[in-house]
Amino acid sequence: MTAPAIERVEPTAPDAALDHPRLRHCTFKWTSEDSPMLMIIGKEYFEITEEFGTRDQFLTIKRYLDGRHTIAQIAERARVDEESVRAIVETFREMGLLHDPRPIDSVPGDVYAAQIAASCDMWGRQIGYHNLFSGLDDGTLRGEVFLGMILETYHYVKSASKHIATAIAHCDDERLVPLLSKYFTEEYNHATMLVHALKKMGLPKEQIVNAHPVIGTWSLINNLCEIARQDTLSYIACTTLFEARADDFEAGAESLRRAARLAGYPEECAEPLIAHMRIDVEAGHVGLLEEALEIIGSVPAEKAHKAVNNLHDLKHSYDQFHDQIIQYYSDIANYIPRLKVDYFSL
């Protein structure tokens, strides 16, 4: 096996230690087994083509590029020759794709905001690759799954007042309280828009407001509340991931309308959710971190790292949220909306 052919958009070449190589955080995407792999790191895209070896061998090597294994150990565990691993690592080093830790006390606010925005762009697109959306887009999932997505999104949107209020109550920098308070007033009670959508889909209001979220939804909400409780900067950074982006609005709106049609619901049932997205875009909520950093300036290194890790965990909470929607609403035996279980149910 030899190093893959990698075509890069904007090359950089920072120094990196090769004793225990670690790849920068990335995601992979491909459309078929014989099409090139796309490796995405922030807003950079790299096309990887297979010249020798297999895709599985390459991905196995990638698994061990975690900073905890030597090149010899990676080769042994991936069952490829050591020179192939060394060539791949050297290619990544030349492209600036290896993890490059440096001693820093703080990160300038504008630099940090730009890096978080780039990473959230990557993670946001990775969330969008979930088979929930592809299955709704091509009509291969049951119509009830679309209903479930709107219903669980209702629970999630309704939780905004809870996690924003938690962030305000536990704010660790008083200068950020006005920013969070303004955010709270602008997000308060948006869930009513989703109630209108669900009513158009045939659910009575009483069933909507008394519905019980699936566990993936609870987990997502609780993670947001926990991040808001433990670290204010982390919470504000997370808004960069979950708030609507202007660049994605039109495509997202059309996808929702198409998914509604394919699921057998009137197209207008998607409009309240689209209106919610439009309000968020117009309010500029995706730029909250930039506003916060204009207030606080540079970010201490420890807080910078903590916020990134919390963001990454939140990204996986969204994956679990979408997994659970498919799992629960694809089962024809499950109650929709989900019922609470009381003592008499035993």
At 129 the pLDDT is 86
Q: Tens digit of pLDDT for each residue in 181-197?
A: 999 999 988 899 999 99
At 9 the pLDDT is 40
Q: Tens digit of pLDDT for each residue in 279-289?
A: 999 999 999 99
**Cβ–Cβ < 8 Å for 259, 137:** yes
24-61 core/surface letters (b: 16 or more CB in 10 A; e: else): bebebeeeeeeebbebbbbebebbbebeebeeebbeeb
Q: Report how far apart, in Å, the C-alpha atoms of 334 and of each of 132, 212, 248 are.
A: 18, 12, 33
At 25 the pLDDT is 83
User: Is the predicted pLDDT of residue 37 greater than 80, yes or no?
Assistant: yes
State the average pLDDT over residues 65-70.
92
At 17 the pLDDT is 55
**Residue-averaged pLDDT of the chain:** 90
SS3 string, 38-63, reads: EEEECCEEEEEECCCCCHHHHHHHHH
CA 296 from chain centre, in angstroms, equals 25
At 11 the pLDDT is 39
User: Is the predicted pLDDT of residue 160 greater than 80, yes or no?
Assistant: yes
SS3 string, the chain, reads: CCCCEEEECCCCCCCCCCCCCEECCCEEECCCCCCCEEEEECCEEEEEECCCCCHHHHHHHHHCCECCCCHHHHHHHHCCCHHHHHHHHHHHHHCCCECCCCCCCEECHHHHHHHHHHHHHHHHHHHHCCHHHHHHHCCCCCHHHHHHHHHHHHHHHHCHHHHHHHHHHCCCCHHHHHHHHHHHHHHCCCHHHHHHHHHHCCCCHHHHHCCCCCHHHHHHHHHHHHHHHHCHHHHHHHHHHHCCCHHHHHHHHHHHHHHHHHHCCCHHHHHHHHHHHHHHHHHCHHHHHHHHHHHHCCEEHHHHHHHHHHHHHHHHHHHHHHHHHHHHHCCCCCCCCCCCCCHHHC
The reported pTM is 0.85
State the average pLDDT over residues 146-163.
96
At 117 the pLDDT is 93
**Region(s) of the chain under CATH 1.20.910.10:** 106-345
- Looking at CATH, the fold of the domain delimited by 5-94 is given as Outer Surface Protein A; domain 3 (3.90.930)
User: Is the predicted pLDDT of residue 8 greater than 50, yes or no?
Assistant: no
- Hunting for tokens 């900067």 — which residue is that? 233
pLDDT-derived band at 35 (thresholds 50, 70, 90) equals: confident
Closest CA to 163 of 91, 89, 218, 84: 218
At 4 the pLDDT is 52
At 96 the pLDDT is 86
**Region(s) of the chain under CATH 3.90.930:** 5-94
Closest CA to 319 of 62, 132, 149: 132
Least confident of 3-7, 38-42, 227-231: 3-7
Which of 28-42, 61-75, 113-127, 158-172 has the largest mean confidence? 158-172
C-alpha to C-alpha distance for 222 and 47, rounded to whole angstroms? 37
State the average pLDDT over residues 117-136.
91
C-alpha to C-alpha distance for 191 and 157, rounded to whole angstroms? 5
At 133 the pLDDT is 95
In CATH, which of 1.10.730.10, 3.40.630.30, 3.30.450.20, 1.20.910.10 is domain 106-345? 1.20.910.10
Q: Tens digit of pLDDT for each residue in 229-280?
A: 999 999 999 999 999 888 889 999 999 999 999 999 999 999 999 999 999 9
Least confident of 75-89, 151-165, 198-212: 75-89
At 120 the pLDDT is 92
